[in-house]
Amino acid sequence: MKIHYITAIGALIVVAVHIMMRLVMPYSLSLEYENVIANYHNIPYLILLESILVLIAIHGFNGLRVILLELRQSKAWEDGVTILTIAAMMGVVAYGTRTIIIANGLGFE
Amino acid sequence: MESLEDRNNREGIRGWLDPSRYGWERVSYWLQRLTGVGLLAYFVGHIYETSSLTQGPDAWAAMLELTQTPMGHLILMLVIGMSTFHSVNGIRLIFTHGGKGLGRPGRPDYPYDAVSLNYRQKSGIWIALILAAVAMLYGASVLFGGE
């Protein structure tokens, strides 16, 4: 459970900063395309977004794995659940990282 | 004699959701899991929603039209409540797992109430629920505040 608790505490901190970034200006204004893209041009914020992505993906899919292992126990089930949750976690991280990289390269025009 | 293989003691999701035999902490147990699964679903949806940025301003505006609606705001309020409960109750569980707030072990006397489920643990569950409600109200004021 150590990885679950470490990712939980890490995620709490970075998600709090992520939410505060939505509240530094009126909520609807913070969602305007130019403002969101400007966030993706800010390197420290970019690192924060990638941290959120990795920490929550690990925490969330490990939590799902634990729930599924509680429901049923057998070698095949446990191996299958572990492989599937790790694959899903890697897929989500890869897809989210793709968005971060592309959005960072986008201009303002 | 019944062999180990004959015992069908798998209760599956029904057993997981049944709070009747385990008391108040069981409610916290399945709320923690339900909110966890709900937040994971939101997280995957949020990653997909944000990816529309890469297709330009029109795709982003179309996605906002879909999500920035009263229904979208209600879902976000639910997410705020779920994440607050999951976080506060999760912190309680980290302390409990470390042996903090469990009290001293005692002799099991009738009516065999679990010593570990003391007022500190029960208060922790209530605090998580109350803070979740407060966070949802604050979220509602921001989302429906009209700014």
Q: Where are the domains of chain A?
A: 2-105
Residue B35: name the closest of B82, B80, B93, B77 by CA: B82
- The DSSP-derived string for A6-18 is HHHHHHHHHHHHH
Average pLDDT over residues A47-68: 96
Q: From its phi and psi, is residue B56 left (phi > 0), alpha (psi between -120 and 50) or beta?
A: left
Only one residue has tokens 């989210």, namely A96
pLDDT recorded at residue B1 = 53
Q: Chain A partners of B53 at a C-beta cutoff of 8 Å?
A: 33, 36-37, 40, 99, 102-103, 106
pLDDT recorded at residue B8 = 60
Contact between residue A14 and residue A51 where contact means Cβ atoms under 8 Å apart: yes
Best residue of A1, A5, A23, A54 to probe chain B, by most B CBs closer than 10 Å: A5
Q: Which residues of A touch B (CB under 8 A)?
A: 1, 5, 8-9, 12, 15, 23, 26-29, 31, 33, 36-37, 40, 53, 56-57, 60-61, 63-64, 67, 70-72, 92, 95-96, 98-99, 102-103, 106
Q: Looking at residue B58, what DSSP letter applies?
A: H
Segment B98-129, tens digit of pLDDT: 888 877 777 778 877 777 777 888 889 999 99
Residue A45: name the closest of A8, A28, A20, A9 by CA: A20
Segment B12-63, tens digit of pLDDT: 777 777 767 677 788 888 899 999 999 999 999 999 999 999 998 999 999 9
Lowest-confidence range among A97-101, B1-5, B40-44? B1-5
pLDDT band at B5 (very low <50, low <70, confident <90, very high): low
> CB atoms < 10 A from the CB of B33, how many?
18
Contact between residue B87 and residue A12 where contact means Cβ atoms under 8 Å apart: yes
Q: Looking at mean pLDDT, say which of A49-58, B3-12, B117-126 comes out highest.
A: A49-58
Work out the mean pLDDT of chain A and round it to a whole number: 91
Q: Which 38-67 residues of chain B touch chain A by CB within 8 A? A: 39-40, 43-44, 47-48, 50-51, 53-54, 57, 60-61, 64
* Position B2 pLDDT exceeds 70: no
Q: Chain A partners of B60 at a C-beta cutoff of 8 Å?
A: 33, 36
pLDDT recorded at residue A25 = 82
> CB atoms < 10 A from the CB of B14, how many?
8
Q: Domains plus CATH for chain B?
A: 11-143 (1.20.1300.10)
* Position A28 pLDDT exceeds 50: yes
pLDDT recorded at residue A109 = 46
Average pLDDT over residues A33-61: 94
pLDDT band at B9 (very low <50, low <70, confident <90, very high): low
